[in-house]
Amino acid sequence: MTYKLSQILENLDVTFSHADIEIDGIHTLSEATSSQLSFFTDAKYTSKLSHTKAAAVFIDEKHADLLPSTTVALITDEAYLNLAYSSKFFAHKMGTESTELKVGEKCDIDKSARFGMNVVLGDNVTVMAGVYVGDNVSVGSNTLLYPNTTLYHGTEIGRNCIIHAGAVIGCDGYGFAHTKQGEHIKIYQNGNVVVEDDVEIGANCTIDRAVFGTTYIRKGTKLDNLIQIAHNCDVGEHTLLAAQVGLAGSSTLGRNVVMGGQSATAGHLELGDFTTIAGKGGVTKSLEGGKTYAGFPAIEIKAWRKMQAVLMRLVKKR
């Protein structure tokens, strides 16, 4: 869906002097196209301003001159808040209508399952009781959806996947901007989730759709029960996550990462290939791959064990 920039800005306290243009979405500075909006809120992304292809950017006056001449500067001191208001224009319109299901050969679909519009199932897909599959979802061949699983609109599921009961894939990420009066304004999550081939997702897991772009669960990954994966995470190939792991937004995991039960990451960090996080470990910064970490904040496990031993000796002395 496309809107005039003037329509989007009609009720916002934003100024711009430029001919009206058509806008069809929102994305980051580095990913936005010449028909999309973007925003600038953090000085660490200053270097991206001169290279953005965005049609228009919410930005403070101090940095506006760094934008290329092809990008419209939308001057504001509340760029993130105006992003939130604008995101509603591009939100998927929810509804209960459905179109004829495109089904491959030898599928087994329970009569109680519900499907939205433009749903595509591959061959030999099994859909059990109470499943909901939203608009524009695709499910690859040989995939099994256990009872009461939910696939929100735009989700893509690969081949040979197993999704256990109660899992919710593609739900909204936890994103809000805040007014000066302390009100919380929803940032509509307009991306999607892609689950690649040979993935198993445990019961009652929740995987949030991206704000824009995609949340990825890469091939061969296995998720235990009760796991939360936030928006825009990228979980690498053949990763193993034990029960009650939590990944904050935009966490990136390399291949063959292992995370023990109740361990978690802060947002916007990276775990290298073959990283292991012990149970209850709290990751607060990006970590080098090929090592095992423990504790909060997570440190290399040998150092953590020595620290625990020293603490125990101190306790015994007292």
Which of 18, 231, 238, 268 is flagged as catalytic? 231
Q: Which of 215, 175, 216, 179 is nearest to 197 (CA)?
A: 216
Residue written as tokens 């603490």?
311
Active site residue 268: no
| 136, 229, 252, 262, 289 from 225: Cα distances, Å | 26, 12, 20, 11, 25
- What CA–CA distance (Å, rounded) separates 314 from 55? 61
Residues contacting residue 283 through CB under 8 Å, at least 6 positions apart: 263, 264, 265, 266, 269, 271, 277, 293, 297, 298
Catalytic residues: 231
